[in-house]
Amino acid sequence: MAIRTPLVPADRWLLLAAAFVLGNFALLTALAPPAHRAGLLALAAAWSIAALLLRAAARRYTPQAPAVLLPAALTLSGWGLMGIWRVAPQYGLRQALWLLLASLTAALLLATPNLLPWLRRRAFPLLLGGLVLLVLTFLIGQHPSGAGPRLWLGCCGLYFQPAAFFKVLLALAVAADGRQWQPRLAAVVLAAAALLAAQRDFGTAIFLVALYTAGEACVWQRWQPLAGAAGAAFPLGWAAYRAFPIVGQRMEAWLFPAHSPQHYGYQILQARRALQAGGIAGLGWRSLVPVPLAHSDFIFTTIANGWGLAGALALLVLLAALPFFAFRIGGPLHTFHQRLAAALGLYLGGQTLLILGGNLRLLPLTGMPLPFVAAGGSALFAAFAALAFLLKAGERASLAASSPAIHWCSRLFVLAFTLTAAATAWWMLP
């Protein structure tokens, strides 16, 4: 099988990504305390191996995919490694190992022939399998630390979170939309959301409903699910507020963090202090403001604190590039590949905005990881699987004119990321 000549911009973007990530690793290694240098070198080596592996796979199997997607994801993952190591070195090496495994999995997905047609035919059965795994977390779920919500499956130090993969499977099912199962898709989504809500994972439960309804609207121009979800949001939210104390605590932390500065509001207040301390240039390896879960839920705050406003805005551009080009691929919505790209754009962009909104106090905290950046093996696997599907879809689809629905969805995402950038500048400028 002949290999087409790769697009020149792809290698140029990858060289820029490597220069940024490895240059930052070199600078941090030079400035870091001696005890941290060996770990940083190991992280840089792991990232380099992952980048070379994915470059080789993308160059051979998806040379016509948009050139920006892979470099953006690799830059985000490398930046995430540095941010995680800065605040929680014990998680840095673990994240590097997950990155190697996730990149290997993505490369294998890229090398799989006829992958997307196979997934289209089996999208709903795969989603049902994901629902079964969610049921198992309700029955025999674990928490890696032994204390907390039991949202993981596994044992002996190896765990995975089914909800992370269920989001990608839901995007596949929305894009496939087989006539034989489409009426049952809403029931599966509601069942999954109910299971997660019963386990106090309200952020993921809300996101699943939002992803399904937004997918129906943007991908299929079916507005009834979105209208129904919007109408039910207030009464269901009020019921959850009255029934579950954690909902009230998160609302209080969001609206009135100063009322409980040592309890519910502590995380929000510390995140605000970390953003303000970062300023324009950032603190680098200097003393940082401690923020609970700075390596996962608040990784954006960690990077903004270390790299300053300039770094935070650059990170936002990279995060926005993924859904932007996904919508460009999916614009016409004529084929499954295009619909899948649009649905994955909703998944990546929507989850990103929910997390950034929580970090910047634009929205309540959701407890979900920032794609490609935050610590968490399951989330990293899911993000790289979504990237592989996007590259496969981009190989088959041309960047043609968008349908009206995708046009307006992409406009809304651009507006949301612009407001997020403005909020970041508001908190960080003197």
Q: What is the pLDDT of residues 370-386, one digit of tens each?
A: 999 999 999 999 999 99
Give the mean pLDDT of the chain.
90
Residue 197 belongs to a domain: yes
pLDDT at 313: 98
Residue 3 belongs to a domain: no
pLDDT digits (tens, 9 = 90+) for 105-153: 999 999 999 999 999 999 999 999 999 999 999 999 888 877 778 888 8
pLDDT digits (tens, 9 = 90+) for 314-333: 999 999 999 999 998 877 77
Q: How many domains in the chain? A: 1
Look at 145 and 298; give whichever has higher pLDDT.
Answer: 298
Least confident segment among 175-189, 191-205, 355-369: 175-189
As a whole number of angstroms, the distance between CA 177 and CA 173 comes to: 6
pLDDT at 397: 64
**Range 115-118 contact pairs with CB under 8 angstroms and sequence separation of 24 or more:** 115/389, 115/392, 116/336, 116/337, 116/340, 116/389, 116/392, 116/393, 116/396, 117/336
pLDDT digits (tens, 9 = 90+) for 398-420: 655 568 888 888 899 999 999 99
As a whole number of angstroms, the distance between CA 11 and CA 78 comes to: 17
pLDDT at 401: 59
Examine the pLDDT at 49 and tell me if it is beyond 90: yes
pLDDT at 2: 42
Mean pLDDT of 236-248: 84
Containing 160, the helix (H) or strand (E) segment is: strand 158-160
Query: Which range has the top average pLDDT, 30-39, 94-103, 324-333?
Result: 94-103
Residue 2 belongs to a domain: no
Residue 400 belongs to a domain: yes
As a whole number of angstroms, the distance between CA 380 and CA 102 comes to: 7
User: Tokens for 284?
Assistant: 């680098």
Domain with 163, as residue range(s), is: 8-428
Is residue 18 a contact partner of residue 51, using CB atoms and an 8 Å limit?
yes
Residue 258 belongs to a domain: yes
Residue 347 belongs to a domain: yes
Residue 301 belongs to a domain: yes
Examine the pLDDT at 427 and tell me if it is beyond 70: yes
Residue 1 belongs to a domain: no
Q: What is the pTM of this model?
A: 0.94
Examine the pLDDT at 260 and tell me if it is beyond 90: no
